[in-house]
Amino acid sequence: MGTRGSALALAQSSQAARALEKLNPGLTVETVVIKTSGDQFGVPTPEVAKNLPQGAKGLWVKELEEALLDGRVDFAAHSGKDMPALLAAGCSIAAYPEREDPRDAFVPRPGLTWASLNHGAKVATSSLRRHLMILAAKPGVNLMTLRGNVDTRLRKLKDGEFDAMVIAVAGLKRLGRGDVPHEPLDVKIMLPAPAQGALALEIRSDRKDVAGIVAKLDHAPTRACVEFERAFLAAVDGGCGSPVGAYARLQSGGVLFEGFLALDGEKIGKRVAGLCGDVARREAFIADLAAQAKAR
């Protein structure tokens, strides 16, 4: 199994590996840590991202996909939200394990709540999507850029560098830090990134032997929702620096979908929503919503 080497990547990939071993008696999964371009160089500017084959997100998976294609690893474990809209040729997703909470978490200093967050408060996050949605809900807050792993971010909060931060609920839980005081934010306030909270287990498409092992961890409801979200990411040309949000939920009448897109330089993005009653019409449904999201 190939994985990035961050604490979160190792925690979530280990969970997937142990689950696969349980589902496949006698199987042993060896972890191979691979440093990606994103780990080495960080997030590129929008101008640079536009010229990358898979956009900015591709920098977090490029070396892992190369390891798949040349046989150094049999499968790769990714955070779903790090996956570019287009996979490398010859690669496919064999499994989306059951999704963790997809929402974003408001993590404040003691005594502060989202409701009491006022003008001038310092709020830190690494995501432009979150920046725009925070400003839409709480005009006048002072936004700060947040870097570092979860423990580093929590230390900065404790040291008073800012009043609150916004990170993924799934990250806290997978690191065993679910006890950290936080408020999961309603998706009406903060629409998640596409596939947030989901893991993607990627294989080389011609490795049917590996597919037979890894696919046992696939969770059909998670796959259905994540594929809607990733289809929207692809349809709005996501991954090239533009903030994108997407969240799909299964309902008795079909799939309820909400999307968000902010074009380059916009301070306020656009939300779209709809109910797809026939999953077989996903591509047409998403294409229509993407066109609405891009229209100005």
Could you give the angle at which helices 282-294 and 220-235 cross, rounded to 10 degrees?
40
The whole-number pLDDT of residue 176 equals: 92
Asked whether the predicted pLDDT for residue 48 surpasses 50, the reply is no
List the catalytic residue out of 70, 74, 82, 206: 82
Q: Which region holds residue 29: left if phi is over 0, alpha if psi is between -120 and 50, else beta?
A: beta
Asked whether the predicted pLDDT for residue 143 surpasses 90, the reply is yes
Query: If you average pLDDT over every residue of the chain, what do you get?
Result: 91
Give the closest residue to 20 by CA, choosing from 227, 212, 221: 212
Evaluated on CA atoms 157, 162, 166, 168, the torsion sign reads negative
Alpha carbons within 13 angstroms on the beta-carbon side of residue 141 total 26
Residues 103-127 have a mean pLDDT of: 95
Confidence of residue 266 (pLDDT cuts 50, 70, 90): confident
Asked whether the predicted pLDDT for residue 76 surpasses 90, the reply is yes
Confidence of residue 60 (pLDDT cuts 50, 70, 90): confident
Asked whether the predicted pLDDT for residue 54 surpasses 80, the reply is no
Spatial separation of the C-alpha atoms in residues 124 and 106, rounded to whole Å: 10
Confidence of residue 239 (pLDDT cuts 50, 70, 90): low
Alpha carbons within 13 angstroms on the beta-carbon side of residue 77 total 30
Which residue is associated with the tokens 């006890």?
Answer: 179
Are residues 226 and 195 in contact, defined by beta-carbon separation less than 8 angstroms?
A: yes
DSSP H or E segment with residue 39? helix 37-41
Confidence of residue 49 (pLDDT cuts 50, 70, 90): very low
Q: Considering the domain 104-184 in this protein, what is its CATH number?
A: 3.40.190.10
More confident residue, 147 or 113: 113
Confidence of residue 37 (pLDDT cuts 50, 70, 90): confident
Spatial separation of the C-alpha atoms in residues 15 and 31, rounded to whole Å: 11
Asked whether the predicted pLDDT for residue 260 surpasses 60, the reply is yes
Q: How many residues does the chain have?
A: 296
Give residue-wise pLDDT tens across range 84-94: 888 999 999 99
- Pairing outcome for strands 254-261 and 164-168: unpaired
Domain 104-184 in the same topology as domain 2-100+194-294: yes
Confidence of residue 240 (pLDDT cuts 50, 70, 90): low
Confidence of residue 230 (pLDDT cuts 50, 70, 90): very high
Q: Known catalytic residue: 101?
A: no
Asked whether the predicted pLDDT for residue 2 surpasses 50, the reply is yes
Domains of the chain, residue spans: 2-100+194-294, 104-184
Which residue is associated with the tokens 């064999």?
Answer: 94
Confidence of residue 179 (pLDDT cuts 50, 70, 90): very high
User: In the CATH scheme, what is the homologous superfamily, with its name and number, of domain 2-100+194-294?
Assistant: Periplasmic binding protein-like II (3.40.190.10)
Are residues 153 and 124 in contact, defined by beta-carbon separation less than 8 angstroms?
A: yes
